[in-house]
Amino acid sequence: MTSSILAQDPTLADFGRDPWWLVLGKIVFAFAFGLLATLLGVWFERRVVGYMQVRPGPNQVGPFGLLQTLADGLKMAFKEDILPKAADKVVYFFAPTISVICAVTALSVVPFGPMVSIFGHHTPLQVTDVPVAVLLLLACSSMGVYGIVLGGWASGSTYPLLGGLRSSAQMISYEVAMGLSIVAVFMTAGTMSTSGIVAKQAHGTELSIFGQTIPAPGWYAILLLPSFIIFFIATVGETNRAPFDLPEAESELVAGFMTEYSSLKFALFMLSEYVAMVTMSAVTTTLFLGGWRAPWPITIWEGANSGWWPMLWFFGKVIALVFVFVWLRGTLPRLRYDQFMRLGWKVLLPINLVWILVLSGLRSIEDWDTRGKVIAVGIPAGILLIASIFWPSRRPKPKPTTQEQVDNRPHGSFPLPPMDLQVPPSPRITRVVAEREPANIVAGSDSREV
């Protein structure tokens, strides 16, 4: 492959003109990216969590333990494949593949870079793009839950069924908040094309604060800060990652929807989870973090957003978001199911609706720059959103201990011995007293009187 510096942003007219071998190469690249990102993602997660827990993590198989995930995959492939007697064999077999296919398909509309030259053909670094590409991303994320639900139902067991039901309820709860977050992106960008959304984030704006003019980037993560926060929280819930990993809660459901799976089918479910995590990180990068565009101060270099360099910035942003996924898993405990549902329906959804209403009102003001007014309102609103989510709730007054109750007893009450002398009666003494003085036991005498 050869490269040339091209400053042109891809448009919808640039797709559909590539020869068949170039289209096939893009498809293979997107699929290989999903698989390789999964292998490295598992290793990355184990190393980062190990560092957080002050232990080495995988470091024996290959340099820095890089081949440990490959060894685990081969081990799972050669394990015995067990089929439960009560399972629906056809659905049981195809359920893992549904989740994997949906997770990989979403990468087809994710832009990896700008227009480049490959063997003399000027082509965008993206498999394809359509006017409603973001709706395709939403459809893929929604369809992926079918593999989990069908796998839990087809296993013919209780715990997998409960895990599948949890996953379906989880998807419904957080898909609404995710869709409303993307509505804000539609309203600001004026397009549903992923390449168009990246192009709209190319130009920054200037804000006047206390008489000082400062430059502000055009990333929607800053312009639409509340939408970005809610979208990422919904993404964590959609991918069944901690602290929202309730469909596979080990302490409650053994392994959830994967309980009855083994060998390659179990590996496919794990693969779909990590591919979905990488895919949603790429989608978040595309919608809110400028896509393949370089962050400041790299943009000072004129060639930062041309040629093959943008792929490096894109992968760097994806890795940073994957690190946040791992960070959450190593930091936060699993939520209770009622807390999880309350967060989706009573916190994220109302805040998102109010934010969309405010954004619509701001866009109706014609005498004020749209980006400036969105930033001026979006940043404070995002700060308030973060504060409302993570602000510690009012804790109830702790119940007084027994010693405090004794110390606070009314004046003149019957004195009690020190707490260390109030030992429970011995069963042997109680039995002796019952044999010798049954009348006293009936009358309520204490066994310590013996």
Q: What are the mean pLDDT values of the chain's consecutive 10-residue runs (450 residues total)?
A: 52 85 91 87 90 87 87 84 82 85 89 88 89 88 83 83 82 86 88 90 59 63 88 88 78 77 83 87 93 83 84 93 91 83 87 86 64 63 66 65 70 57 63 62 46
Rounded CA-CA distance 92/101 in Å is: 16
Q: Which long-range contacts (CB under 8 A, 24 or more apart) does 341-344 make?
A: 341/169, 341/173, 343/233, 343/389, 344/173, 344/174, 344/176, 344/177, 344/234, 344/237
**Which pair of tokens denotes residue 435?**
């044999």
Q: Is 428 strand, coil or helix? A: helix
pLDDT at site 322: 93
pLDDT at site 368: 54
pLDDT at site 4: 39
pLDDT at site 396: 65
Residue type (1 letter), 363: R
Rounded CA-CA distance 383/373 in Å is: 16
Query: Is the separation of the CB atoms in 344 and 173 below 8 Å?
Result: yes
pTM, entire model: 0.77
**Which pair of tokens denotes residue 449?**
């009187």
Rounded CA-CA distance 266/254 in Å is: 14
Assign 3-class secondary structure to 147-204: HHHHHHHHCCCHHHHHHHHHHHHHHHHHHHHHHHHHHHHHHHHCCCCHHHHHHHCCCC
My answer on whether omega of the bond before 243 falls inside 30° of 0, hence cis, is: yes
Rounded CA-CA distance 205/167 in Å is: 41
**Which pair of tokens denotes residue 127?**
């498999």
pLDDT at site 29: 92
Sequence-ordered strand ranges (E) for 203-242: 205-209, 212-216
Closest CA to 229 of 378, 375, 111, 359: 378
Residue type (1 letter), 175: E
For the purposes of burial, counting CB atoms within 10 Å of the CB of 180, is it exposed (0-12), middle (13-18) or buried (19 or more)?
Answer: buried
Query: Is the separation of the CB atoms in 268 and 97 below 8 Å?
Result: yes
